[in-house]
Structures are given as structure tokens and as C-alpha cells.
Amino acid sequence: SGIKKATAKGQGKVRSAYLYQKAYEMLTDRITESYSNDAMVLGSESESLSRDVYYFSNDVEIERVAIIKEGPHRHVSPDGLVGEDGIIEIKNINGPGYIETVSKQRVGAEHAKQIQWGLYISQREWCDFIQAHWIWGENGIIAGYTDKPIWVKRVYRDEKLIKEMDEGADKFITEMLALVEKIKGD
């Protein structure tokens, strides 16, 4: 996710590349192409299935939103808003990864920043993280493990991590705007 790249520690290659990408997009008003693979396409295509299973399992209304903005440079695109206090974040994963996640009963650390940024920008209290396992079947997408097509774990706000990300985002935005001004001035 963008917040993970923007708030990466130090001045590493991932953060620097993301800084240049965002500066380019600001200067040209063009979105750069991003990497995609079959697993990412499957995740995108199966997201509505996960949302439907969650909806029917929990009997809750889910509001779909494209983007929630906080100012010109901070935003989030949650996979859904739930009631007044919640969001959902959906991830599709391969079979062994799904079994590992369900057996450990915890959300992978690689998702923490995306979840917490979503809670921060949307001003919500909790996120139901939905781990799914869908596969391509002969006639379309099917559940990889039919007894339990999704696993849900509620994650609450982590104010310490949110504060760190907020400060990291401020620093990134300041650097990005300075870079844009430098390029415009040359």
C-alpha cells in the first residue's frame, strides 16, 4: 500500500522510488502504471464475493466508497464501511497462506499500516480484516476451501502506530512537495 511505502524507515529504495513516482504524478497529472500479476487480478475479481460472504454471515450493511480524502495528499480506499464505526479490508491469499493465517488466528504484520491508515483517515474505530482464499475454477472463481471461504479478524485502532504514520506521512508529503518545486524551478 502507498502508506507503507511512504512511511518506510530511512531513505530506502522503495521509499525513494515511491517519492519520485508521486512527484511525477503531481507534475504530469498522470497516474503511473503499477505492477499486476494473476494473483492480484484474482484478488480484485473475487473481492465482491468476499464482501458478499461477510455481509450474509454478519447481517450488516456495507457501504462501498471509492476514496476518502483528508486534504489533497492523504486518502484511503477501504473495501467497505460498516455501520458508523467500522471498515473492512479484504485480501485474497494462496492456499497454504490461508491455512497459516487461520491457524495462527492473527492478521499478518504486512497489513498493519494499511489497516491503521484506513481507520485513521476514515475516522473509524475498528476494521474487520477479511482473509479469503478464492481460486480460478473451470467456470470462474470458486472458493479454494469451501468449508470456510473467508476468515475475519477484528482489528482496533493502534494510536501509537497511527501517530508514527501521521508523522511519516507529513515528512513524505513535505519532501514530495519540495521535490515538485525543485523540478518546476529548474
- Quick one: which of 62, 84, 59, 90 has its CA closest to 152? 90
User: pLDDT tens, 11-65?
Assistant: 678 889 999 999 999 999 888 887 788 888 888 999 999 999 999 999 999 999 9
pLDDT tens profile 99-140: 998 899 999 889 999 999 999 999 999 999 999 999 999 999
10 pLDDT more than 70: no
Q: Which residues lie across from 164 on neighbouring strands? A: none
Region of 38 (left: φ > 0; alpha: ψ -120 to 50; beta: rest) is alpha
The number of CA neighbours under 13 Å toward the Cβ of 27 is: 16
Say what the pLDDT of residue 9 is.
74
pLDDT for the residue 95: 84
3-class DSSP assignment, residue 80: strand
In our burial notation (b when 16+ CB lie closer than 10 A, e otherwise), range 135-159 reads: eeeeeeeebbbeeebbbbeebebbe
Residues 62-80: tens digit of each pLDDT: 999 999 999 999 999 999 9
Q: How confident is the model at residue 163 (pLDDT cuts 50, 70, 90)?
A: very high
pTM for the structure as a whole:
0.89
Q: What is the pLDDT of residue 157?
A: 98
| pLDDT given at position 21 | 92
Task: Quickly state the pLDDT bin for 7 (edges 50, 70, 90).
Answer: confident
CATH of 2-185, one of 3.60.20.10, 3.90.320.10, 3.30.110.60, 3.50.30.10: 3.90.320.10
How buried is 36 (Cβ within 10 angstroms: 0-12 exposed, 13-18 middle, 19+ buried)? Answer: exposed
Q: What's the confidence (pLDDT) of residue 132?
A: 93
Q: Which carries the bigger pLDDT value, residue 90 or residue 4?
A: 90
Average pLDDT on 1-6 reads 84
Please say if the pLDDT value at position 186 is more than 80. Answer: no
Question: Domain locations in the chain?
Answer: 2-185
Segment 159-165 mean pLDDT: 97
